[in-house]
Amino acid sequence: MRLARRISRIKPSATLTINAKAKALKQSGVNIINFGVGEPDFPTPEPICDAAVKSIRDGQTRYTAVGGIDELKEAVSRLIKADYGLDYGRDNVLISCGGKHALYNLMQTVLDPGDEVIIPSPYWVSYPDMTELVDGVPVFVPCTEKNGFKMLPEDLERAITPKTRMLILNSPSNPTGKYYGAQDLRKLADVLLRHENVLVASDDIYYRILFGGREWVSLGMVEEKLRERIFIVNGVSKSYAMTGWRIGYLVGDSDVVKAATKVQSQVTSNPSSISQWAGVEALNGNQKQVNDMTKVFEKRSRYVLERISKVPGVTCPEPDGAFYVFPNFSACFGKKAGGKTIKGSLDLAGYLMEAAHVAVVPGEAFGEDRCLRFSYALSMPEIEQGFDAVEEAMAKLG
Ligand code: PMP
Ligand code: GLU
Protein backbone atom coordinates (compact mmCIF):
# COMPACT_ATOMS: atom_id res chain seq x y z
CA MET A 1 0.00 0.00 0.00
CA ARG A 2 1.34 3.44 -0.88
CA LEU A 3 1.71 5.58 2.23
CA ALA A 4 2.04 9.33 2.47
CA ARG A 5 5.64 10.50 2.05
CA ARG A 6 5.69 12.12 5.48
CA ILE A 7 5.22 8.71 7.11
CA SER A 8 8.51 7.47 5.71
CA ARG A 9 10.26 10.43 7.37
CA ILE A 10 9.28 9.36 10.88
CA LYS A 11 10.08 6.42 13.13
CA PRO A 12 8.03 4.77 15.86
CA SER A 13 8.71 6.26 19.31
CA ALA A 14 11.87 4.47 20.53
CA THR A 15 10.90 4.81 24.18
CA LEU A 16 7.51 3.20 23.65
CA THR A 17 9.02 0.50 21.42
CA ILE A 18 11.57 -0.50 24.09
CA ASN A 19 8.83 -0.56 26.69
CA ALA A 20 6.68 -2.85 24.55
CA LYS A 21 9.65 -5.18 23.97
CA ALA A 22 10.50 -5.31 27.68
CA LYS A 23 6.88 -5.98 28.61
CA ALA A 24 6.58 -8.76 26.03
CA LEU A 25 9.75 -10.44 27.33
CA LYS A 26 8.47 -10.15 30.89
CA GLN A 27 5.20 -11.76 29.86
CA SER A 28 7.06 -14.62 28.24
CA GLY A 29 8.72 -15.31 31.59
CA VAL A 30 12.06 -13.49 31.19
CA ASN A 31 12.85 -11.41 34.25
CA ILE A 32 13.60 -8.11 32.51
CA ILE A 33 14.55 -5.05 34.55
CA ASN A 34 12.95 -2.23 32.62
CA PHE A 35 14.98 1.00 32.76
CA GLY A 36 13.40 1.76 29.40
CA VAL A 37 10.24 3.73 29.71
CA GLY A 38 9.79 7.01 31.48
CA GLU A 39 6.76 6.60 33.66
CA PRO A 40 6.48 6.80 37.43
CA ASP A 41 6.24 3.39 39.05
CA PHE A 42 3.83 4.74 41.70
CA PRO A 43 0.09 4.14 41.49
CA THR A 44 -2.13 7.13 40.71
CA PRO A 45 -3.01 8.63 44.13
CA GLU A 46 -6.27 7.36 45.60
CA PRO A 47 -8.18 10.70 45.73
CA ILE A 48 -7.56 11.16 42.01
CA CYS A 49 -8.96 7.70 41.26
CA ASP A 50 -11.93 8.44 43.53
CA ALA A 51 -12.64 11.66 41.64
CA ALA A 52 -12.68 9.71 38.37
CA VAL A 53 -15.10 7.12 39.75
CA LYS A 54 -17.33 9.87 41.13
CA SER A 55 -17.38 11.59 37.74
CA ILE A 56 -18.64 8.39 36.12
CA ARG A 57 -21.32 7.99 38.80
CA ASP A 58 -22.29 11.64 38.36
CA GLY A 59 -22.83 11.05 34.66
CA GLN A 60 -19.85 13.08 33.44
CA THR A 61 -19.57 10.70 30.55
CA ARG A 62 -20.49 12.86 27.57
CA TYR A 63 -18.56 15.11 25.24
CA THR A 64 -17.19 18.10 27.06
CA ALA A 65 -16.19 21.43 25.52
CA VAL A 66 -13.54 20.66 22.90
CA GLY A 67 -10.76 22.44 24.74
CA GLY A 68 -11.62 20.94 28.13
CA ILE A 69 -13.92 21.63 31.07
CA ASP A 70 -13.73 25.06 32.70
CA GLU A 71 -12.91 23.49 36.07
CA LEU A 72 -9.72 21.96 34.68
CA LYS A 73 -8.72 25.07 32.75
CA GLU A 74 -9.18 27.08 35.92
CA ALA A 75 -7.11 24.58 37.88
CA VAL A 76 -4.32 24.94 35.30
CA SER A 77 -4.42 28.72 35.41
CA ARG A 78 -4.41 28.70 39.23
CA LEU A 79 -1.43 26.34 39.23
CA ILE A 80 0.51 28.49 36.76
CA LYS A 81 -0.16 31.51 38.93
CA ALA A 82 1.06 29.64 42.00
CA ASP A 83 4.10 27.97 40.45
CA TYR A 84 5.18 30.51 37.80
CA GLY A 85 3.66 33.68 39.20
CA LEU A 86 2.14 34.30 35.76
CA ASP A 87 -1.41 35.32 34.91
CA TYR A 88 -3.19 33.21 32.36
CA GLY A 89 -6.96 32.94 32.10
CA ARG A 90 -9.17 30.18 30.77
CA ASP A 91 -8.78 31.50 27.21
CA ASN A 92 -5.08 30.81 27.42
CA VAL A 93 -5.50 27.10 28.21
CA LEU A 94 -6.18 24.10 26.00
CA ILE A 95 -6.62 20.66 27.55
CA SER A 96 -5.38 17.90 25.25
CA CYS A 97 -4.83 14.12 25.31
CA GLY A 98 -1.42 14.29 26.99
CA GLY A 99 1.48 16.72 26.83
CA LYS A 100 2.46 15.02 23.58
CA HIS A 101 -0.84 15.97 22.00
CA ALA A 102 -0.64 19.51 23.38
CA LEU A 103 2.74 20.00 21.70
CA TYR A 104 1.54 18.46 18.45
CA ASN A 105 -1.52 20.72 18.41
CA LEU A 106 0.77 23.71 18.89
CA MET A 107 3.01 22.63 16.02
CA GLN A 108 0.01 22.08 13.74
CA THR A 109 -1.19 25.55 14.61
CA VAL A 110 1.95 27.64 14.18
CA LEU A 111 4.25 25.83 11.75
CA ASP A 112 4.09 26.12 7.99
CA PRO A 113 5.91 23.68 5.69
CA GLY A 114 9.63 24.46 5.73
CA ASP A 115 9.56 26.32 9.04
CA GLU A 116 12.56 25.43 11.15
CA VAL A 117 12.31 24.12 14.70
CA ILE A 118 15.40 24.35 16.88
CA ILE A 119 15.88 21.25 18.99
CA PRO A 120 18.77 21.16 21.49
CA SER A 121 20.36 17.73 21.27
CA PRO A 122 20.17 15.33 23.11
CA TYR A 123 16.42 15.69 22.86
CA TRP A 124 13.26 13.81 23.74
CA VAL A 125 12.59 11.29 20.98
CA SER A 126 9.31 12.75 19.74
CA TYR A 127 10.40 16.32 18.95
CA PRO A 128 12.02 15.69 15.54
CA ASP A 129 9.33 13.30 14.37
CA MET A 130 6.48 15.57 15.43
CA THR A 131 8.19 18.40 13.55
CA GLU A 132 8.46 16.22 10.45
CA LEU A 133 4.81 15.21 10.74
CA VAL A 134 3.75 18.81 10.31
CA ASP A 135 6.28 19.33 7.46
CA GLY A 136 8.57 21.44 9.63
CA VAL A 137 12.35 21.10 9.53
CA PRO A 138 14.18 20.00 12.71
CA VAL A 139 17.41 21.91 13.30
CA PHE A 140 19.57 20.27 15.93
CA VAL A 141 21.87 22.17 18.25
CA PRO A 142 24.43 19.75 19.67
CA CYS A 143 25.01 20.28 23.39
CA THR A 144 28.12 18.94 25.10
CA GLU A 145 28.39 16.67 28.10
CA LYS A 146 30.89 19.19 29.50
CA ASN A 147 28.12 21.77 29.67
CA GLY A 148 25.70 19.28 31.23
CA PHE A 149 24.09 18.77 27.81
CA LYS A 150 22.59 22.25 28.02
CA MET A 151 22.38 24.60 25.07
CA LEU A 152 24.75 27.58 25.10
CA PRO A 153 23.37 30.97 24.03
CA GLU A 154 25.98 31.36 21.28
CA ASP A 155 24.95 28.01 19.81
CA LEU A 156 21.30 29.08 19.84
CA GLU A 157 22.21 32.36 18.12
CA ARG A 158 24.13 30.50 15.42
CA ALA A 159 21.23 28.13 14.73
CA ILE A 160 18.63 30.84 14.17
CA THR A 161 17.87 31.65 10.52
CA PRO A 162 15.10 33.68 8.86
CA LYS A 163 13.17 30.39 8.65
CA THR A 164 13.30 29.63 12.38
CA ARG A 165 9.81 29.58 13.85
CA MET A 166 10.18 27.60 17.06
CA LEU A 167 12.60 26.57 19.77
CA ILE A 168 11.78 23.62 22.01
CA LEU A 169 13.16 23.83 25.52
CA ASN A 170 12.76 20.97 27.95
CA SER A 171 13.82 21.44 31.55
CA PRO A 172 14.40 19.31 33.53
CA SER A 173 15.34 17.34 30.48
CA ASN A 174 14.40 13.98 29.15
CA PRO A 175 16.88 12.25 28.62
CA THR A 176 19.58 14.04 30.68
CA GLY A 177 17.76 15.16 33.84
CA LYS A 178 19.54 18.54 33.53
CA TYR A 179 17.74 21.78 34.31
CA TYR A 180 18.15 25.33 33.05
CA GLY A 181 18.54 27.68 36.01
CA ALA A 182 17.67 31.39 35.99
CA GLN A 183 21.11 32.41 34.71
CA ASP A 184 21.03 29.91 31.83
CA LEU A 185 17.57 31.13 30.88
CA ARG A 186 18.51 34.80 31.13
CA LYS A 187 21.24 34.28 28.51
CA LEU A 188 18.93 32.35 26.20
CA ALA A 189 16.25 35.03 26.66
CA ASP A 190 18.73 37.71 25.53
CA VAL A 191 19.24 35.83 22.28
CA LEU A 192 15.52 35.31 21.76
CA LEU A 193 14.76 38.99 22.34
CA ARG A 194 16.79 39.70 19.20
CA HIS A 195 14.67 37.31 17.09
CA GLU A 196 11.03 38.27 17.26
CA ASN A 197 9.80 35.58 14.91
CA VAL A 198 10.87 32.71 17.16
CA LEU A 199 8.24 31.09 19.36
CA VAL A 200 9.20 28.88 22.28
CA ALA A 201 7.60 25.60 23.27
CA SER A 202 8.55 25.24 26.92
CA ASP A 203 8.10 21.56 27.71
CA ASP A 204 7.81 21.68 31.49
CA ILE A 205 6.43 18.19 31.99
CA TYR A 206 9.03 17.32 34.68
CA TYR A 207 8.92 20.70 36.44
CA ARG A 208 7.70 19.34 39.77
CA ILE A 209 10.47 16.73 39.93
CA LEU A 210 13.47 18.88 40.94
CA PHE A 211 16.33 17.84 43.24
CA GLY A 212 18.67 19.55 45.65
CA GLY A 213 16.13 22.20 46.68
CA ARG A 214 16.16 23.70 43.18
CA GLU A 215 13.42 26.25 42.63
CA TRP A 216 11.28 26.09 39.54
CA VAL A 217 12.11 28.70 36.93
CA SER A 218 11.10 28.94 33.31
CA LEU A 219 11.71 31.31 30.44
CA GLY A 220 8.47 33.27 30.83
CA MET A 221 9.40 33.97 34.45
CA VAL A 222 12.77 35.52 33.62
CA GLU A 223 11.72 37.70 30.70
CA GLU A 224 8.37 39.44 30.64
CA LYS A 225 8.84 40.56 27.02
CA LEU A 226 8.98 36.98 25.78
CA ARG A 227 5.74 35.91 27.40
CA GLU A 228 3.53 36.32 24.35
CA ARG A 229 5.85 34.03 22.39
CA ILE A 230 6.12 31.29 24.99
CA PHE A 231 3.87 28.26 25.05
CA ILE A 232 3.91 26.05 28.09
CA VAL A 233 3.42 22.35 27.43
CA ASN A 234 2.65 20.24 30.44
CA GLY A 235 0.39 17.51 31.76
CA VAL A 236 -0.46 15.30 34.68
CA SER A 237 1.37 12.16 33.47
CA LYS A 238 4.63 12.54 35.33
CA SER A 239 3.82 14.65 38.39
CA TYR A 240 0.79 12.62 39.42
CA ALA A 241 1.69 9.18 38.07
CA MET A 242 -1.12 9.42 35.50
CA THR A 243 0.56 8.38 32.26
CA GLY A 244 -2.39 6.26 31.15
CA TRP A 245 -5.05 8.90 31.76
CA ARG A 246 -3.88 11.09 28.86
CA ILE A 247 -4.32 14.64 30.10
CA GLY A 248 -1.95 17.38 29.00
CA TYR A 249 -2.24 21.10 28.48
CA LEU A 250 -1.03 23.98 26.40
CA VAL A 251 -0.86 27.47 27.87
CA GLY A 252 -0.13 30.66 25.96
CA ASP A 253 -1.41 33.36 23.65
CA SER A 254 -5.22 33.16 23.43
CA ASP A 255 -5.40 33.44 19.62
CA VAL A 256 -3.02 30.52 19.20
CA VAL A 257 -4.87 28.52 21.88
CA LYS A 258 -8.15 29.21 20.08
CA ALA A 259 -6.68 28.06 16.78
CA ALA A 260 -5.17 24.95 18.40
CA THR A 261 -8.60 24.20 19.87
CA LYS A 262 -10.00 24.35 16.33
CA VAL A 263 -7.41 21.74 15.29
CA GLN A 264 -8.40 19.56 18.23
CA SER A 265 -12.10 19.97 17.37
CA GLN A 266 -11.50 18.31 14.02
CA VAL A 267 -9.22 15.54 15.20
CA THR A 268 -9.92 14.16 18.67
CA SER A 269 -12.59 16.41 20.24
CA ASN A 270 -12.21 16.67 24.01
CA PRO A 271 -9.86 14.45 26.03
CA SER A 272 -11.69 11.80 28.11
CA SER A 273 -14.26 13.49 30.36
CA ILE A 274 -13.41 11.12 33.21
CA SER A 275 -9.70 11.82 32.97
CA GLN A 276 -10.40 15.53 32.99
CA TRP A 277 -12.24 15.26 36.30
CA ALA A 278 -9.39 13.19 37.65
CA GLY A 279 -7.08 15.98 36.45
CA VAL A 280 -9.07 18.57 38.40
CA GLU A 281 -8.49 16.59 41.58
CA ALA A 282 -4.80 16.11 40.72
CA LEU A 283 -4.16 19.83 40.27
CA ASN A 284 -6.44 21.13 43.04
CA GLY A 285 -5.94 18.38 45.59
CA ASN A 286 -3.25 17.67 48.15
CA GLN A 287 0.19 18.00 46.54
CA LYS A 288 2.01 15.99 49.20
CA GLN A 289 2.29 12.90 47.04
CA VAL A 290 4.12 14.84 44.30
CA ASN A 291 6.67 16.02 46.83
CA ASP A 292 7.01 12.56 48.37
CA MET A 293 7.52 11.02 44.94
CA THR A 294 10.19 13.59 44.12
CA LYS A 295 12.07 12.73 47.31
CA VAL A 296 12.07 9.07 46.34
CA PHE A 297 13.34 9.88 42.83
CA GLU A 298 16.09 12.03 44.29
CA LYS A 299 17.24 9.25 46.59
CA ARG A 300 17.26 6.79 43.72
CA SER A 301 19.17 9.22 41.51
CA ARG A 302 22.01 9.32 44.04
CA TYR A 303 22.19 5.55 44.18
CA VAL A 304 22.06 5.25 40.38
CA LEU A 305 24.89 7.75 39.97
CA GLU A 306 26.99 5.90 42.50
CA ARG A 307 26.49 2.63 40.64
CA ILE A 308 27.24 4.20 37.27
CA SER A 309 30.44 5.74 38.61
CA LYS A 310 31.64 2.20 39.37
CA VAL A 311 31.37 1.07 35.74
CA PRO A 312 34.88 1.60 34.29
CA GLY A 313 35.10 4.38 31.70
CA VAL A 314 31.50 5.52 32.03
CA THR A 315 30.78 9.20 32.76
CA CYS A 316 27.46 10.80 33.66
CA PRO A 317 26.28 14.34 34.42
CA GLU A 318 24.43 14.51 37.72
CA PRO A 319 20.68 14.88 37.13
CA ASP A 320 18.93 17.95 38.56
CA GLY A 321 15.47 16.44 38.26
CA ALA A 322 13.08 14.18 36.31
CA PHE A 323 13.89 10.44 36.58
CA TYR A 324 16.52 9.84 33.94
CA VAL A 325 20.27 9.60 33.67
CA PHE A 326 22.14 9.70 30.41
CA PRO A 327 25.57 8.13 30.94
CA ASN A 328 28.25 8.07 28.27
CA PHE A 329 29.26 4.47 27.55
CA SER A 330 31.41 5.19 24.51
CA ALA A 331 34.53 3.93 26.29
CA CYS A 332 33.29 0.40 25.62
CA PHE A 333 32.61 0.91 21.91
CA GLY A 334 34.91 -1.28 19.87
CA LYS A 335 34.89 -4.02 22.50
CA LYS A 336 33.49 -7.44 21.70
CA ALA A 337 30.60 -9.48 23.04
CA GLY A 338 30.52 -13.10 21.84
CA GLY A 339 32.51 -12.24 18.70
CA LYS A 340 30.30 -9.25 17.85
CA THR A 341 31.75 -5.75 18.11
CA ILE A 342 29.76 -3.17 20.07
CA LYS A 343 29.75 -0.26 17.64
CA GLY A 344 27.30 2.13 19.24
CA SER A 345 24.36 2.60 21.61
CA LEU A 346 22.02 0.33 19.65
CA ASP A 347 24.47 -2.59 19.85
CA LEU A 348 25.11 -1.92 23.53
CA ALA A 349 21.41 -1.69 24.43
CA GLY A 350 20.81 -4.93 22.49
CA TYR A 351 23.69 -6.61 24.33
CA LEU A 352 22.41 -5.48 27.75
CA MET A 353 18.93 -6.75 26.92
CA GLU A 354 20.31 -10.18 25.93
CA ALA A 355 23.14 -10.62 28.40
CA ALA A 356 21.87 -8.71 31.45
CA HIS A 357 18.12 -8.80 30.85
CA VAL A 358 18.13 -5.06 31.31
CA ALA A 359 16.14 -2.72 29.05
CA VAL A 360 17.56 0.76 28.38
CA VAL A 361 16.97 3.18 25.52
CA PRO A 362 19.89 3.67 23.11
CA GLY A 363 21.15 7.26 23.10
CA GLU A 364 20.94 7.27 19.32
CA ALA A 365 17.15 7.76 19.67
CA PHE A 366 17.86 11.01 21.54
CA GLY A 367 20.49 12.20 19.07
CA GLU A 368 23.56 11.15 21.12
CA ASP A 369 24.90 7.75 20.17
CA ARG A 370 27.55 7.67 22.89
CA CYS A 371 24.98 7.41 25.67
CA LEU A 372 22.26 5.15 27.05
CA ARG A 373 19.18 6.42 28.83
CA PHE A 374 18.24 4.81 32.13
CA SER A 375 14.88 5.68 33.64
CA TYR A 376 15.03 5.00 37.37
CA ALA A 377 11.28 4.93 37.86
CA LEU A 378 11.79 1.48 39.35
CA SER A 379 11.86 0.11 42.89
CA MET A 380 15.21 0.15 44.70
CA PRO A 381 15.58 -3.68 44.69
CA GLU A 382 15.02 -3.67 40.92
CA ILE A 383 17.51 -0.84 40.42
CA GLU A 384 20.09 -2.72 42.50
CA GLN A 385 19.50 -5.95 40.64
CA GLY A 386 19.62 -4.13 37.30
CA PHE A 387 22.95 -2.47 38.02
CA ASP A 388 24.45 -5.73 39.33
CA ALA A 389 23.54 -7.27 35.99
CA VAL A 390 24.85 -4.28 33.98
CA GLU A 391 28.14 -4.34 35.88
CA GLU A 392 28.55 -8.05 35.29
CA ALA A 393 27.72 -7.79 31.58
CA MET A 394 30.08 -4.84 31.07
CA ALA A 395 32.91 -6.74 32.75
CA LYS A 396 32.48 -9.57 30.22
CA LEU A 397 33.13 -7.31 27.21
CA GLY A 398 36.51 -8.10 25.72
N1 PMP B 1 7.60 15.77 26.99
C2 PMP B 1 8.56 14.97 27.46
C3 PMP B 1 9.95 15.51 27.56
C4 PMP B 1 8.28 13.66 27.87
O5 PMP B 1 9.25 12.89 28.33
C6 PMP B 1 6.97 13.19 27.75
C7 PMP B 1 6.75 11.76 28.16
N8 PMP B 1 5.83 11.06 27.59
C9 PMP B 1 5.98 14.07 27.26
C10 PMP B 1 6.34 15.34 26.88
C11 PMP B 1 4.55 13.73 27.07
O12 PMP B 1 3.96 13.04 28.07
P13 PMP B 1 2.38 12.79 28.05
O14 PMP B 1 1.94 12.80 26.61
O15 PMP B 1 2.20 11.49 28.73
O16 PMP B 1 1.77 13.93 28.80
N1 GLU C 1 8.19 10.22 27.78
C2 GLU C 1 8.37 8.89 28.25
C3 GLU C 1 9.74 8.40 27.83
O4 GLU C 1 10.51 9.13 27.29
C5 GLU C 1 7.23 7.99 27.87
C6 GLU C 1 7.25 7.43 26.50
C7 GLU C 1 6.99 8.46 25.46
O8 GLU C 1 5.92 9.04 25.46
O9 GLU C 1 7.91 8.66 24.67
O10 GLU C 1 10.05 7.25 28.08
User: Is CATH 3.40.50.1820 correct for 60-284?
Assistant: no
Mean pLDDT of the chain: 96
Best residue among 174, 206, 231, 233 to mutate for probing ligand 1's pocket (most ligand atoms within 8 Å of CB) is 174
Which tens digits make up the pLDDT trace of 107-144?
999 999 999 999 999 999 999 999 999 999 999 999 99
Best residue among 15, 206, 246, 366 to mutate for probing ligand 2's pocket (most ligand atoms within 8 Å of CB) is 15
| Per-residue pLDDT at 75 exceeds 90 | yes
d(CA 127, CA 168) in angstroms, rounded, equals 8
Residues in the chain: 398
| Per-residue pLDDT at 32 exceeds 90 | yes
Give the number of C-alpha atoms closer than 13 A to the C-alpha of residue 350, restricted to the C-beta side: 12
Q: Which residues line ligand 1 (CB under 6 A)?
A: 38, 98-100, 124, 170, 174, 203, 205, 235, 237, 243, 248
Q: Which of 359, 306, 353, 326 is nearest to 125 (CA)?
A: 326
pTM of the model: 0.96
User: Is residue 73 helix, strand or coil?
Assistant: helix
Q: Which of 209, 253, 195, 265 is nearest to 227 (CA)?
A: 253
| Per-residue pLDDT at 16 exceeds 90 | no
The DSSP output letter for 313 is T
Stretch (H or E) spanning 184: helix 182-193
In the chain, where are the structural domains located? Answer: 5-43+289-395, 60-284
Whether 142 contacts 121, CB under 8 Å: yes
> Quick one: pLDDT at residue 20?
86
5-43+289-395 and 60-284 have identical folds: no
Which tens digits make up the pLDDT trace of 285-339?
999 999 999 999 999 999 999 999 999 999 999 999 999 999 999 999 999 998 8
| Per-residue pLDDT at 35 exceeds 90 | yes
| Per-residue pLDDT at 180 exceeds 90 | yes
Q: Which residues line ligand 2 (CB under 6 A)?
A: 13, 15-16, 37-39, 100, 125-126, 174
| Per-residue pLDDT at 242 exceeds 90 | yes
Question: Could you say which ligand is closest to the alpha carbon of residue 17?
Answer: 2
- Mean pLDDT across the stretch 5-22? 87
Per-residue confidence band for 22, with pLDDT thresholds at 50, 70 and 90? confident
> Quick one: pLDDT at residue 173?
98
> Quick one: pLDDT at residue 338?
85
At 253, give phi and psi (nearest 5°).
-45, 130
Q: Which of 79, 322, 306 is nearest to 214 (CA)?
A: 322
Which CATH number does 5-43+289-395 carry? 3.90.1150.10
Q: Which of 291, 292, 298 is nearest to 323 (CA)?
A: 298
Those residues whose C-beta lies under 8 Å from the C-beta of residue 125, and which sit 6 or more positions away, are 13, 14, 15, 361, 365, 366
First-to-last CA distance in the chain? 45
Whether 191 contacts 153, CB under 8 Å: yes
